[in-house]
């Protein structure tokens, strides 16, 4: 994995300020925002409640977190999607990402979606609904663990290697060990709720062993 000193080169593809979009201000979004900020990134935090209702909450996380409209958060070069599954398709239909953006899919289809011939996993469906490069990540991690990075392994999956590199760099910078778990189709079961990799808190070597044994 590349590890440039200037994180803007890898995350944004250009030099300048780095801001990560967080869409959803539930447990996962609120856990992620201060962790991203502590790692040196700006955070554009949004939810369907609108920026005015999030402003006080965002300001409590420090100057690097600001409340914005969902459309603005979706315009960031990297976006964490952390909304209930029932809202995902409509949200992505209403708000496009920028060209070359990475969408970190932290959602779980607890109900309301079933595998289809075109998409065996929910993140494959997300990839069909957006113009961004989708990386399934954080969906297997409890909000309490995300709020306190511990150096242990977090799996991610993608069909776009360059997007995977950007997310792996982000994971490393916030304090986790990134482990590639496969393509979106390959993790349809293993990263889903109840799957082999779901909720695992372990070392990267153990996680890699689990992944290799599942293929």
DSSP-assigned beta bridge partners for residue 104: 80, 135
Residue-by-residue DSSP string for 134-178: EEEESTTS-HHHHTS--S-EEEEEES-HHHHHHHHHHHHHHT-EE
Q: Which CATH architecture has domain 13-214?
A: 3-Layer(aba) Sandwich (3.40)
User: Rounded distance, CA 32 to CA 74, Å?
Assistant: 16
Q: Where are the domains of the chain?
A: 13-214
Residue with tokens 């920026």: 51
User: Rounded distance, CA 17 to CA 143, Å?
Assistant: 27
Per-residue pLDDT of the chain (215 residues; tens, 9 = 90+): 333 333 443 444 323 356 899 999 999 999 999 999 999 999 999 999 999 999 999 999 999 999 999 999 999 999 999 999 999 999 999 999 998 999 999 999 887 666 666 578 899 999 999 999 999 999 999 999 999 999 999 999 999 999 999 999 999 999 999 999 999 999 999 999 999 999 999 999 999 999 998 76
Say what the pTM is.
0.90
Q: Would you state the structure tokens that stand for residue 50, as one six-digit string?
A: 């609108």
């Amino acid at each position: 994995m590349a590890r440039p000193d200037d994180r803007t080169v890898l995350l944004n593809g250009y030099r300048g300020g780095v801001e990560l979009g967080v869409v959803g201000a539930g447990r996962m979004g609120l856990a992620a925002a201060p962790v991203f900020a502590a790692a040196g990134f700006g955070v554009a935090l949004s939810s369907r409640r609108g920026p005015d209702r999030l402003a006080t909450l965002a300001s409590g996380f420090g100057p690097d977190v600001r409340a914005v409209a969902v459309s603005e958060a979706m315009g960031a070069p990297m976006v964490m999607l952390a909304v209930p599954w029932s809202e995902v398709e409509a949200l992505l239909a209403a708000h496009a990402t920028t060209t070359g953006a990475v969408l970190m899919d932290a959602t779980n289809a607890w109900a309301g979606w079933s595998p289809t011939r075109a998409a065996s996993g929910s993140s494959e469906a997300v990839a069909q609904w957006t113009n961004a490069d989708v990386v399934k990540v954080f969906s297997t991690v409890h909000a309490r663990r995300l709020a306190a990075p511990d150096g242990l392994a977090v799996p991610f999956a993608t069909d776009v290697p360059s997007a995977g590199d950007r997310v792996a760099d982000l994971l490393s910078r916030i304090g986790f060990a990134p482990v590639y778990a496969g393509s979106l189709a390959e993790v349809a079961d293993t990263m889903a709720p109840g799957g082999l990799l779901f909720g695992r808190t372990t070392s990267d070597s153990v996680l890699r062993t689990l992944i290799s044994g599942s293929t």
